Structure 1
């Protein structure tokens, strides 16, 4: 969801970080070109901060625990927060116990000087599950969160904790990035909005440090090969999804990645883009329910 041009854009733009109002999209604007308002999480929870791998990770729980159903862990995209899942959580929590968390340095979570990696994100997520006494969950990831799920599946110490997995907007190497994404209006709108949201969450936070960390991450990772992807053995319990109008990741990845992960399932969500969970949360939640059934 973020990009390796994030630092440049933040430095060059004259951002009004206290506000980020945009005119409502005209009715004729295709849904996939819109960036709906960031939702609140149901009940606007205070949440909990837990120390994991040297930082404070914010997380919150929704729905009712059930011994007969897997917990659902939802991981947001880069430069966002768990709030971006709000409308989807509101639907999924009716039938499932859901955990959301802010990735390190983002939303309400803190950061340190440790270089970001998708494996580190995965270890953070596993740490939250362990703190809640959860040994296995269905992992759901969006953008950077999607690659966090793949990283967990590639880490032999973490993969047993991933009973099922659903990704949206995943990519396996740098060549899969769409080089023109950072020129789009929706990208610039998202970065401006997310910067304002960051300052609201962390008035004393270091936006530059976060932007630098995310820029380094996405300009150097992931570098997974076909042989790496072949090691993922979740089979049909892994669903790889993208929006029909995916603009952050090259459309070829919708064919390439499923071909590299044996027996994985692939879903193309109609009428939406990389921001599918925001643009049509009802459709996205329905896809999750099918996956979780």
Structure 2
């Protein structure tokens, strides 16, 4: 409220810079200021044809009701995302005069977005995001770095003729194999071997994930072989002579032995399950083995395993 100290006047005209009202003829007007700043006030007093003007320069100073302007930015899920990923930035301002104007820009395409929420999708490269907040005569700026991590490679190759093992040729990742669009339980190694008794035909792909949590799906890999004679064409091991009367040999198929399997194991069991011989080896080992064991007449089971998986079994008859 402004108090008029004039005397001898019969009319008054007030002028309030950026005030509401900006002009008043009341003797003692009340004025509201909605903007921060420093403003002039003038009063013109009249009596007949006489008038007197009083100008007060920078007379009214309007400050922030909430203190200095500040802004906090939260990223969901994070400021580090995977290639082609998305994130949402939410800005919350405080202080200032209570009314906030948010403006976002970023490096990649120089877009400008208004509002306190910015959603960015399908990013393929890292970028800086710039936020400017204005409240009255105050403003504050923030720079947010959005880092885009590369997705891991993902592809599938087959080994054997026809294929008996599917491999993702990219090491040091996490893996999950799928067949006909269904996740295969427990198939989380760099290679996938369904077993000789399994119908291998179908469409396969692998999901890979790296240490930053980014992931990729491979292209589909179609396998067209079924149970039966086709699978027998591609064996991990062969035993000869079989039946055998004394010594026998074990041949390993170099096309199917995987460098990804650190230790293989060959074992011979009786039909009652008693182990009578075993040997461990790594890929690159001599591919022909003559077990130095004397077996009594009967039927035996020879098993090739590694990485807690059984790759092949063979029956061996000793006469």
TM-score clears 0.5: no
Q: TM-score range by the shorter chain?
A: under 0.3
User: Which structure's residues are more often strand, by fraction?
Assistant: 2
**Which has the higher Rg, Structure 1 or Structure 2?**
2
Q: TM-score, normalised by structure 2?
A: 0.19
